[in-house]
């Protein structure tokens, strides 16, 4: 049976707030329009870490789903929202029944669909809430899944906590450049990936704490999964950052 208690991160995180909407608009909607066009192809999918699309009173929010739909990037059946919290998924299903809401771990669910032959993303939004030390390890799993199993074009958005909101010290503060360097230490990125040179930073906000967030966007072109290419002298550095000071 689903847990009837409202999870803490529904109460703590304003998923519908202006800061979050501006970040999505810049890193997902506007960027996809600029690189690819008005909307994703009809046979493609939009994968994301779902989160709650309702407030503490159980009332629906616009959230990520509404924002992406309102910008005509997708239609409802193209949206695949995954969350580990069963009560989140059950409530989202109740409020938005025509959407694909899936309970489970993000990478594991995408892997299952890949094995079944039903994984066909145009956009993957890894909306993580971890600092780079751990968030890059999870991003590595996503990259590896795509690199060895999915040939087509993908826009991959990755979100990290750059400044720990609960323990403010230099050892727990990172830059976008630090994050990318951390990823490259643990995963050799094939040539079919490029990094959008303008990263996005914004002030994360919750009802109890503040943090600094950073977004790195990767673009994958078509590649042969049986013959990956790697260049020894590749430069994936972020040239500069579009920094949005919202704290």
Q: Spell out the residues 6+ positions from residue 83 whose beta carbon is closer than 8 angstroms to its own.
A: 49, 50, 51, 89, 92, 101, 102, 103
With cut-offs at 50, 70 and 90, classify the pLDDT of residue 7.
Answer: low
With cut-offs at 50, 70 and 90, classify the pLDDT of residue 158.
Answer: very high
pLDDT digits (tens, 9 = 90+) for 163-172: 876 666 656 7
Q: Is 190 part of any domain?
A: yes
* 8 A C-beta contact, residue 131 and residue 172: yes
Q: Is 144 part of any domain?
A: yes
The residue behind tokens 């994050």 is 179
Q: Is 3 part of any domain?
A: no
- The CATH code of the domain that includes 128 is 3.40.50.150
| Start-to-end CA span in the chain (Å) | 40
Q: Is the pTM of the predicted complex or chain greater than 0.75?
A: yes
Range of the domain at 41: 8-243
* 8 A C-beta contact, residue 216 and residue 193: no
H or E segment at 153? Answer: none
Q: Give the residue-averaged pLDDT of 179-190.
A: 94
How many folded domains does the chain comprise? 1
What is the rounded distance in angstroms from the CA atom of residue 140 to the CA atom of residue 146?
Answer: 10
Q: Is 229 part of any domain?
A: yes
Q: Is 2 part of any domain?
A: no
> At CA 47, angle to CA 246 and CA 245, rounded to 5?
10
pLDDT digits (tens, 9 = 90+) for 200-247: 988 765 544 567 889 999 999 999 999 999 997 777 766 655 554 322
Taking Cα atoms as reference points, which of 204, 195, 126, 223 lies closest to residue 161?
Answer: 204
Q: Is 1 part of any domain?
A: no
Q: Is 147 part of any domain?
A: yes
Lowest average pLDDT, out of 9-13, 31-35, 182-186, 220-224, goes to: 9-13
- Does residue 64 surpass a pLDDT of 80? yes
Q: What pLDDT, on the 0 to 100 scale, is given for residue 164?
A: 75
Q: Is 107 part of any domain?
A: yes
């Amino acid at each position: 049976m689903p847990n009837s208690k409202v999870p803490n991160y529904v109460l703590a995180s304003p998923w519908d707030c202006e800061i979050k909407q501006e970040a999505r608009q810049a890193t997902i909607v506007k960027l996809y329009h600029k690189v690819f066009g008005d909307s994703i192809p009809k046979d493609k999918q939009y994968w994301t870490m779902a989160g709650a699309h309702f407030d503490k009173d159980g009332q629906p929010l616009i959230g990520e789903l509404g924002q992406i739909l309102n910008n005509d990037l997708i239609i409802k059946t193209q949206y695949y929202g995954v969350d580990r919290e069963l009560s989140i998924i059950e409530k989202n299903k109740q409020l938005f029944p025509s959407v694909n809401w899936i309970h489970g771990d993000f990478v594991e669910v995408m892997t299952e669909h890949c094995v079944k032959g039903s994984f066909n993303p145009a956009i993957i939004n890894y909306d993580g809430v971890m600092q780079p030390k751990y968030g890059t390890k999870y991003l590595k799993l996503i990259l590896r899944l795509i690199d060895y199993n999915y040939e087509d074009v993908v826009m991959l958005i990755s979100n990290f906590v750059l400044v720990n909101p609960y323990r403010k010290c230099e050892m727990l503060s990172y830059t976008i450049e630090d994050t990318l360097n951390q990823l490259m230490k643990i995963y050799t990125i094939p040539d079919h990936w490029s990094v959008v040179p303008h990263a996005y930073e914004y002030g994360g906000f919750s009802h109890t704490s503040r943090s600094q967030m950073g977004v790195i966007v990767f673009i994958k072109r078509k590649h042969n999964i049986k013959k990956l290419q790697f260049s020894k002298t590749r430069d994936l550095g972020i040239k500069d950052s579009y920094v949005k000071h919202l704290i």
